[in-house]
Structure 1
Amino acid sequence: MNTRILSLIGIARRAGKIGSGDAQIEAMLKKRKGFLLIIAEDALGAQKKYIQWAGDLKLPVVVIGTKLEIGNSIGLSPRSAVLILDQGFAKAILLARS
Structure 2
Amino acid sequence: MDKQQQLLNLLGLAKRAGKIISGEELVVKAIKNGQAKLVFVASDASANLIKKITDKSSYYEVTLAQNFSEIELSNAIGTHRKVIAIADNGFTKKMESLMKM
What's the TM-score once normalised by structure 1's chain length?
A: 0.91
Deviation at 1:34, TM superposition (A): 1.3
**Gaps spanning 5+ residues in structure 2: where?**
none
Cα offsets for 1:14-38 (capped at 9, x unmatched)? 0000000112112212322111011
State the match for 1:42 in structure 2.
Answer: 44
Opposite residue 16 of structure 1, the aligned amino acid is G
Residues matched between the structures, number: 97
Cα RMSD over matched residues? 1.3
Opposite residue 42 of structure 2, the aligned amino acid is A
Helix, strand or coil: the match of 1:96? helix
State the match for 2:18 in structure 1.
Answer: 16
Partners of 1:65 and 1:7 lie apart in 2 by 13
State the match for 1:86 in structure 2.
Answer: 88
User: 2:32 touches 2:60 (CA, 8 Å); kept in 1?
Assistant: no
State the match for 1:53 in structure 2.
Answer: 56
Partners of 2:72 and 2:48 lie apart in 1 by 17
Partners of 1:46 and 1:64 lie apart in 2 by 15
Partners of 2:23 and 2:75 lie apart in 1 by 14
Return structure 1 stretches of 4+ with deviation > 6 angstroms: none
